[in-house]
Amino acid sequence: MPYGVSKLANLQFQVSALDYSQPLGATHGTILTWAFLGYSPWFQFLLGFLETFPGVLLCFRRTWRLGAVLLFPVLLNVVLINFAMDLWDATRKISFFLLALNVYLLATDFRMYVSFFGRLVQKRSQRLGFRGNAVLVVAELVIPIVMAGYWLNNLRRATATTMQPARDFIGERQINSAGTWSVQKMSFSGKDAAPSDRLLLFDFRGRCYYRADNRTLPGTFRADHDRHTFQLSGLELEGDRRTIQGTYRVDGDRLIMQGQRGGEPAEFVLQRRHWGKQLPFSAGR
C-alpha cells in the first residue's frame, strides 16, 4: 500500500532534470522505467489505485479473497518490470516476496476458485444446452487462435521486409544503441579521411546519419543481407552527397564496406559503438 499511495499522490516516479539532459543511449534502465511510468500523471494515479484498492480489500475478512485475485496480475507485472529493467536489488526482492505472499493467499483457497469458475461453466452449459455450449467452446478457441495467427503473420512480413535485410547494420532488433557505429576508417579514391570521434547511425526505417564535428547529417540506406550489398544515398560525406553502393562483410564486431561513389572507390571500416543487451541468441556488445 505505501507504493500505491505514493503513486496516488504522483510522488514516486520523479526524474531529475540532469537525467533528462543525458542521451537516451546512456540512460540506465531504472531512469528509463521511472521516466516512462511517470510520464503521464493520470496513468501514475491509475497504477496507484490498482495497487491500493486490492490492498485495502486484503484488510477485511469478507473481501480478502477478492483483493488477492485483483492484486495478483498487478504484482506479477511489477515483478516482471523490476527484473526485466534491472531495477534495484532490494526492490526486486520486496516485490518478489509480496508476489509469493499473494500466491500463498490464492493457494489457500485454490479449490474454491476452481469450484467458482466450474460453476460459471456449468451454468452456461445449462443455459445453452450441449450443442450451444460446444459451439461456444470451439469459437472461444478458434477465434483467438485465428486472430493471433493473422497478426503474427503480419508482424512476420513486416519484420522480413524491414529488419531482416539490414540486420547486419541495425541488429536483429534495434534496441540498446544497436545501429550505432564508430568510423574506424573512411577513404575515397584511396585517400583516408580523418574519422576521429565520428559515427554512422543506421535505423530500421532505412534512414542513416553521419555525426561529426557537432553536426548530424541525414541520408538513407538500403542493405541486402543475403547478397551483402549496401547503398547510401543523400548522405553528405566529406562534402559530397553522391550515392555510394557496393558490398560489405561482417568481421566480428566490425562492418567492412567497399564500393564506389561516382566511379571512384570508397571504403569504410565501422565498429559497433556501445551496443547493449541484444536478443538472447545474438551477439550483443
pLDDT digits (tens, 9 = 90+) for 209-249: 999 988 899 999 999 999 999 999 999 998 899 999 999 99
pTM above 0.95, yes or no: no
Q: Which residues pair with 192 in a beta bridge?
A: 187
Query: Is residue 188 domain-shared with residue 255, that is, in the same domain?
Result: yes
Residue 285 DSSP code: -
Query: Is residue 104 domain-shared with residue 199, that is, in the same domain?
Result: no
Tell which of 108, 129, 144 closes a domain.
108
Residue 165 DSSP code: G
Query: Is residue 266 domain-shared with residue 180, that is, in the same domain?
Result: yes
Tell which of 58, 80, 108 closes a domain.
108
What is the structure's pLDDT at 285? 42
> Which range is most confident: 15-24, 45-54, 188-197?
45-54
Angle between helices 41-57 and 29-37 (to 10 degrees): 90
Q: How many CB atoms lie within 10 A of CB 171?
A: 24
What is the structure's pLDDT at 277? 81
CA geometry: angle at 77 spanning 143 and 85, to 5°? 120
Task: Look at residue 188 and tell me whether its pLDDT is greater than 50.
Answer: yes
CATH number of the domain that residue 256 is part of: 2.40.128.270
Residue 43 within a domain? yes
Q: Which residues contact 277 (CB under 8 A, 6 or more apart)?
A: 175, 176, 284
Task: Look at residue 265 and tell me whether its pLDDT is greater than 60.
Answer: yes
- Average pLDDT value for residue range 164-184: 91
Question: 202, 178 in Cβ contact below 8 A?
Answer: no
What is the structure's pLDDT at 127? 59
Residue 156 within a domain? no
- Average pLDDT value for residue range 279-284: 59
**CA–CA separation, 47 and 3 (whole Å):** 10
**CA–CA separation, 175 and 177 (whole Å):** 6
Residue 285 within a domain? no
Question: 216, 209 in Cβ contact below 8 A?
Answer: yes
Residue ranges making up the domain that contains 201? 167-272
What is the structure's pLDDT at 284? 45
Query: Is residue 184 domain-shared with residue 262, that is, in the same domain?
Result: yes
First to last CA, the chain: 40
Tell which of 68, 89, 108 closes a domain.
108
Residue 128 within a domain? no
Element (H, E) at 265: strand 264-272
Show the beta-strand stretches assigned E in 126-206. 180-188, 191-192, 199-202
- pLDDT tier, 282 (very low <50, low <70, confident <90, very high otherwise): low
Tens digits of residue pLDDT in 85-138 = 889 999 999 999 999 999 999 999 888 888 887 777 665 555 556 666 778 778
Query: Is residue 77 domain-shared with residue 172, that is, in the same domain?
Result: no
Query: Is residue 175 domain-shared with residue 248, that is, in the same domain?
Result: yes
Residue 22 within a domain? yes
Please state the domain count of the chain: 2
Residue 170: C-alpha distances to residues 131, 177, 258, 273 (Å) = 53, 9, 18, 12
Integer-rounded Cα Rg, in Å, for the chain is: 27
- pLDDT tier, 184 (very low <50, low <70, confident <90, very high otherwise): very high
Element (H, E) at 255: strand 254-261
Residue 208 within a domain? yes
Query: Is residue 261 domain-shared with residue 192, that is, in the same domain?
Result: yes
**CA–CA separation, 206 and 106 (whole Å):** 50
Q: Which residues pair with 248 in a beta bridge?
A: 257
Phi, psi (deg, nearest 5) at residue 259: -165, -150
Residue 159 within a domain? no
For CA atoms 72, 75, 76, 77, the dihedral sign is positive
Q: Which residues contact 233 (CB under 8 A, 6 or more apart)?
A: 219, 220, 221, 222, 243
Task: Look at residue 251 and tell me whether its pLDDT is greater than 80.
Answer: yes
Tens digits of residue pLDDT in 20-70 = 878 887 788 889 999 999 999 999 999 999 999 999 999 998 999 999 999
Query: Is residue 268 domain-shared with residue 171, that is, in the same domain?
Result: yes
Residue 133 within a domain? no
Residue 43: C-alpha distances to residues 38, 47, 48, 119, 219 (Å) = 8, 6, 9, 36, 37
Question: 8, 53 in Cβ contact below 8 A?
Answer: no
Residue 243 corresponds to which cell in the numbers above? 550515392
Query: Is residue 179 domain-shared with residue 90, that is, in the same domain?
Result: no
What is the structure's pLDDT at 137? 74
